[in-house]
Structure 1
Amino acid sequence: MKLLILDRDGTLNRSRDDYVASADEWEPLPGALEAVARLNHGGWRVVLATNQSGIGRGMFDMVSLNAIHAKMHRSLAAVGGRVDAVFFCPHAPEDACTCRKPSPGLFEQIGARFGVPLDEVPAAGNALRHVQAAAVAGCPTHLLMTGKSEHLRGQVDTLLPQAPPSTALLGLPPGTCLHADLAAFADWLLAQDPTADARASGLAPL
């Protein structure tokens, strides 16, 4: 099984200064849903690992979160993509849980659920805490320069698509690769397997 873990806010959809608290506020990033569809067609199963402390803080409830994800699934289906599962942490920081990133709990839950060694599961997201949690769990790590990391664009162009050890200056785990956005990450990942890349481009049968 080829499994991939993505962050949600700032990676798949636009992030907000407060919270994405309703389906009306959920807006996909340009090209992100299509990137997921291409990954799916390349044989990748995609799951999300996302902090949703707005629940613990009382900013929105599970009904609202379910409505957000229902809209997300419909939007993905409309372009031929899918997310197999959403793992989320509902806790506020003061709850001191083990699933709130940068703790690795969500990633460990995903590994246990799907029965896949996490060192074979790439993880990509826009937030440092996502990459840190993924690294602790043993995943190969990828930082997208969108959302919380959009300020890096233009500063590290010479590091793309693979970052040298100098990325330690950015506080990233060793070996982290940098990509402009989810579409660029999908291009990179699919290029590692030419057969999958051809399937994702519609050049070979699924």
Structure 2
Amino acid sequence: MEEQQKEGIIAQYLEKDAELLGENGIAGTEQRDKGTNGNSEQGSIKNHYWKFIGGFFALLLVGFIGIPAIGMYIQKQEDMEFVEGMERNQQAMSELQERLKNDKDGGATPEETLQLFTAALKKGDIEQAEKYFVIEPQKRQDMLIANLDRIRAEGKFETLLDYLGKAKLEKDSNSSDNNVWFSYLENGRAQIGVEITKDKYSSVWKIENLAF
């Protein structure tokens, strides 16, 4: 009987120990799992951290290299446009100088230009008369042509011819200045004024202003 009691007590202890071991085993497994998950989470955070740092420094590198490069490119484009603009201006100036040198519609003196202009108008050759106007600037030439058209439209063409024939070189005008005025006074009032100039690149005098 005593032996059975001993065996029962031993069995109870063994069962208790087994339960305790089982509980400890389960707890140990959970702790290991938690440890593994914790290490995984820490590794993921570290990976994100280093990716952020790498991206940040990559942006800095692009900024340090890219911004100066963009600035240099823009400056280069502006320099090229400036040079091209200068070349276009020089080309336009060269072409204008060539036109002025080749322009033969005018007189060697301001008096001769006025005579040629008046003679062309008397013949009714308006196209030839307009050739004695300055060729540059274009707006000035257009204005002179429009002024002549207005005089004809108003029926004052014959009066214009009469005044042109009576116009004299003004006393304070000097042909050495490459700019002179012819005018005609009637009753102390100027009836007509003709400004004739000579460009330094041209060999002829041209009409620049016709006040009537």
TM range (shorter): under 0.3
Greater fraction of residues in helix: 2
TM-score, structure 2 normalization: 0.19
